[in-house]
Amino acid sequence: MDLTELFKTANPVIGVVHLLPLPASARWQGDLQAVIARAEQEATAIASGGAHGLIIENFFDAPFPKSHVDPAVVSAMTLVVQRLQQLVTLPIGINVLRNDARSAMAIATCTGASFIRVNVLTGVMATDQGLIEGEAHDILRYRRELGSGVKILADVLVKHARPLGAPSLTSVVQDTIHRGLADGVILSGWATGSPPSVEDMQLARSAASDTPIFIGSGASADNISKLMPFADGVIVSSSLKRKGQIDQPIDPIRVRDFVSELSRGLLALERRDAASTPEHQPMAVG
């Protein structure tokens, strides 16, 4: 997966548009235009703040079904994507919660979106929706049937879940890439807004080799410089919202501050690496 080709940068910041409750969800308010208007505001804020991509997910539809969502959710998300494509030129991704990768692939393929996020691509996870089994075979076969070029970013040991058994992070990353054929992997903390540890990022980086790794939760202007040396990109939402509160809309100023802090951190890392190369070491005298 060539991040520079897709996002025009090797280290993309992907902002998340959390859609208000959609039709058929428990908290649906009966006004799809309000959903679209909020999504328009958030997508515009993400783009104007300097992010490199965005991902749309039915975040406020909780409680989620563990697999297949209602067709009304698919229809509503498709309408939102088409509207946002008229407003921003950023690559768009789709995440249909809790784990409806097939619907996400259908929406992305039909709208020309660039990628999807899959919470459980391989393995079995115990979640608040029950046991969720990865269906890598089904989604890869479906992508081929559609003739789709949509990329698959897959979570490893996804947040708000626990694996059955005690698999190592290294083995899960390798299985997700080599057996699940993910185009990129996502590492999160234990819950929304919780970052992965530096130690886990280091392990994932080593296991993933050349496959892109994304930070999937908990990234902020305060910690991004510590996490980013082991990642290729970051998916971020909570810290971009007004006052950092999950129920608030995206704040373009917070987006700009986050992107700026990431850029400063990457520049500092480049300078440190350059200073540590042999040609920059002081010559021995005597």
Q: What is the mean pLDDT of residues 75-89?
A: 98
Give the mean pLDDT of the chain.
Answer: 92
pLDDT at 192: 78
Q: Comparing 272 with 124, which gets the higher pLDDT?
A: 124
pLDDT at 269: 74
Q: Would the pLDDT of 99 be above 60?
A: yes
Kindly report, residue by residue over 171-194, the tens digit of the pLDDT.
Answer: 999 999 999 999 999 998 887 778
Q: How confident is the model at residue 286 (pLDDT cuts 50, 70, 90)?
A: very low
Which range, 73-77, 185-189, 197-201, 272-276, has the best average confidence (pLDDT)?
73-77
Q: How confident is the model at residue 48 (pLDDT cuts 50, 70, 90)?
A: very high
Kindly report, residue by residue over 100-134, the tens digit of the pLDDT.
Answer: 999 999 999 999 999 999 999 999 999 999 999 99
Q: Would the pLDDT of 276 be above 80?
A: no
CA distance to 51, 283, per residue, from 286 (Å): 52, 10
% of the chain with per-residue pLDDT over 90: 79
pLDDT at 277: 63
Q: Would the pLDDT of 280 be above 60?
A: no
> Nearest-CA neighbor of 47 among 194, 240, 217?
240
Q: How confident is the model at residue 79 (pLDDT cuts 50, 70, 90)?
A: very high
pLDDT at 284: 47
Q: What is the mean pLDDT of residues 232-246?
A: 93
Q: Please give the DSSP secondary-structure letter assigned to residue 152.
A: E
Q: What is the CA radius of gyration of the chain?
A: 19
> Nearest-CA neighbor of 51 among 201, 234, 180, 207?
234
Kindly report, residue by residue over 224-237, the tens digit of the pLDDT.
Answer: 988 999 999 999 99
Reported pTM: 0.92
Q: Would the pLDDT of 278 be above 70?
A: no
Q: Would the pLDDT of 281 be above 60?
A: no
pLDDT at 160: 86
Q: Would the pLDDT of 282 be above 70?
A: no
Q: What are the boundaries of each domain within the chain?
A: 10-270
Kindly report, residue by residue over 191-205, the tens digit of the pLDDT.
Answer: 777 889 999 999 999
Q: How is domain 10-270 classified at the CATH fold level?
A: TIM Barrel (3.20.20)
pLDDT at 36: 98
Q: Would the pLDDT of 265 be above 90?
A: no
Q: Would the pLDDT of 246 be above 50?
A: yes
Q: What is the mean pLDDT of residues 148-160?
A: 94
